[in-house]
Structures are given as C-alpha cells and as structure tokens.
C-alpha cells in the first residue's frame, strides 16, 4: 500500500514538473496609413523555446458568416530568439520601426482590418485557410481543429455584434474602429497608435512604450480623416 502511495505521489510530482509553454502573443499590427506593408505579430517566451507544433491562426469572416480561418501560419522550425521575442512579418515589411524580423512569412499574414478578428496561437492545428470553426454561427467554437489553445486575443471593432470573435481576451474598439495596433502592457492588451512606430516595439520589450502611452493618434482618430 505504501509503495502504491509513493508511486502515485511521484507520478503527480512528475506531472507538476512538466513545464507549460511559456510562449504568448505580445503584439500585433493589422493596419496603418496608406498601404499595409508592415503587418506583423510578435510572440514572447523563454529564449530558445521551440515553436514546433504551433500555428498562428486568424479568425474572421469568409464564405461562412462567422468563424472562418483567414490566415494560418505554421511556426514549425522556429524558436523564440535570445532576447525572448519572436517577430513574424510579411514580405513587404520595411523595418521602419528599427527591428529586424525573425521570420518572413510572405503573403501568409493575411490580416484583415475594419472588422472583428481573433488571433489564436494553437498547437496541433489540423485545418486550412477557409475552414469554419463556428458551424452554426452562434459565436461558439464547435469545430475544433487543434489540440489546445496556447493564447488568444480578439481585436474588436463592434463589441457583441458584427463578425463573431472568440476567447476571453479582447482589445478595442479604438473609437469606432478595430485597433490597427495592439500590444501587451503590464499583462494587459491595450490599443496602440494607428500611426506606424509611435507605439510599435516589434521584436523587443514593450516596457518603454508602455511607460509613455500615446493618446494623440489613435486608429479611430486618424482613419476618420480619410472617410
């Protein structure tokens, strides 16, 4: 009996000792003035942490009313850089804000703007772009195409209406618009500036940017001038 108890205790301790994935979504830009050349996403994690088996997916609308996968970016073969961040960009990324990318994903970063969209970092993804995760359009995921959700953030233009968004973490709206830029400050997602490089810190710590919030040039304020 004692041997069984000891075995069970050791097994439980072994389970507790298995480290959980530390990687999280940390920053994203989906829009900017003029052409959207500098869309990107940033992950934060332990230096050297493998991203094998992970996929960044973006959920919005499509031929399905809700729940369409608009982008799917496999992270196989990549890892968190030595500085604790991973910056993924599109081919047209200009490096205007100063930091070189850790990976370029061509046209896979199909980040829709002017809509509610959900970014999810998932493991064991089995779907493809165009798949529907919300078959009855009730804002609930009923077609699970992954083994687990590592992290998620919904960028919201119209709270509780319009295209469905998923998960508990949300940011926005920015005025009457979806945030063009959003980042994590002190553990919380906040709306960044629509203007490029005002509140962007791609590939580096957000702390300096978070310490000096910008309120002069929001997405809503700038975009309204073009409507």
Mind listing the pLDDT tens digit for each residue in 102-122?
999 998 997 988 899 999 999
Residue 20, pLDDT score: 53
Q: How far apart are CA 134 and CA 89, in angstroms?
A: 28
Q: What is the pTM of this model?
A: 0.85
Look up residue 150 and give its DSSP letter.
E
Q: How many residues does the chain have?
A: 227
Q: Is the pLDDT of residue 172 over 90?
A: yes
Residue 4, pLDDT score: 38
Cis check: omega of the bond before 173, within 30 degrees of 0: yes
Q: Is the pLDDT of residue 134 over 80?
A: yes
CA 8 from chain center: how many Å? 38
Banded pLDDT at 22 (limits 50, 70, 90): confident
**The two three-digit tokens of residue 140, written as one number:** 């609930």
- Identify the CA nearest to 220 among candidates 155, 175, 170, 154: 175
Mind listing the pLDDT tens digit for each residue in 53-92?
999 999 999 777 899 999 999 999 999 999 999 999 999 9
Residue 166, pLDDT score: 98
pLDDT mean over 128-150 = 97
HSE-up (13 A, CA, CB side) for residue 226: 9
Q: Is the pLDDT of residue 12 over 50?
A: no
Q: How far apart are CA 47 and CA 175, in angstroms?
A: 36
| Residue matched to tokens 């119209």 | 158
Helix or strand or coil: residue 61? Answer: coil
């Amino acid at each position: 009996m004692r041997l069984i108890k000891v075995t069970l205790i050791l097994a439980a301790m072994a389970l507790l000792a298995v480290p959980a994935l530390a990687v999280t979504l940390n920053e994203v830009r989906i829009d900017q003035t003029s052409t959207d050349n500098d869309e990107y996403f940033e992950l934060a994690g332990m230096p050297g942490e493998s991203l094998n088996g992970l996929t960044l997916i973006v959920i919005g609308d499509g031929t399905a009313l809700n729940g369409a996968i608009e982008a799917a970016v496999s992270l196989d073969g990549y890892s968190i850089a030595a500085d604790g961040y991973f910056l993924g960009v599109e081919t047209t990324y200009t490096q205007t804000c100063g930091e070189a990318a850790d990976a370029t994903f061509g046209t896979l970063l199909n980040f829709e703007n002017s809509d509610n969209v959900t970014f999810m970092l998932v493991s064991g993804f089995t779907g493809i772009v165009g798949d529907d995760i919300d078959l009855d359009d009730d804002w609930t995921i009923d077609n699970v195409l992954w083994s687990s959700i590592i992290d998620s953030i919904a960028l919201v233009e119209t709270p509780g209406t319009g295209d469905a968004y998923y998960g508990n973490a949300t940011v926005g709206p920015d005025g009457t618009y979806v945030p063009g830029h959003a980042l994590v400050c002190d553990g919380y997602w906040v709306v960044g500036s629509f203007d490029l490089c005002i509140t962007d810190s791609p590939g580096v710590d957000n702390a300096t940017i978070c310490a000096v919030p910008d309120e002069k040039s929001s997405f809503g304020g700038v975009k309204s001038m073009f409507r």
